[in-house]
Amino acid sequence: MTETELMLKGYGLTTAEMYYHMPDHPHVLNSFIWQDYDLAPDHSRLLTFIDFWRDEIEGKLHSVVYTHRKMISPGEWRNVVGEFTYH
């Protein structure tokens, strides 16, 4: 699906900043930014990525901070056909 189709189906842009321990220096925190279109309040794509991180990435997660912004909803979008020319 395109981004517009996702937004019309209720998806919003979820941005997460993940703080994790560096594998070689466990007392040092680093951050990683992740973005994807996701459905609130379940955030299944974000949770899937966090599970992937825990299973596949060596850096242990310290914390995750996220925001979710619904860009448009079906009631806010309409298809306009026509054009007005003004001088």
CA neighbor of 64 nearest in space, from 19, 34, 4: 19
pTM above 0.85, yes or no: no
Give the residue from 29, 28, 31, 3 showing the smallest Cα distance to 16. 31
Q: Return mean pLDDT, the chain.
A: 87
9 or 49, higher pLDDT: 49
**pLDDT tens by residue, 52-70:** 999 999 999 999 999 998 8
Across the chain, where does the E strand assignment appear? 12-21, 29-38, 61-69
The tens digit of pLDDT for each residue in 28-53 reads 999 999 999 999 889 999 999 999 99
Q: Under a CB-based contact definition with an 8 Å cutoff, are residues 9 and 51 in contact?
A: no
Structure tokens at 3: 């981004």
3-state helix, strand, coil split of the chain in percent (to 5) is 25, 35, 40
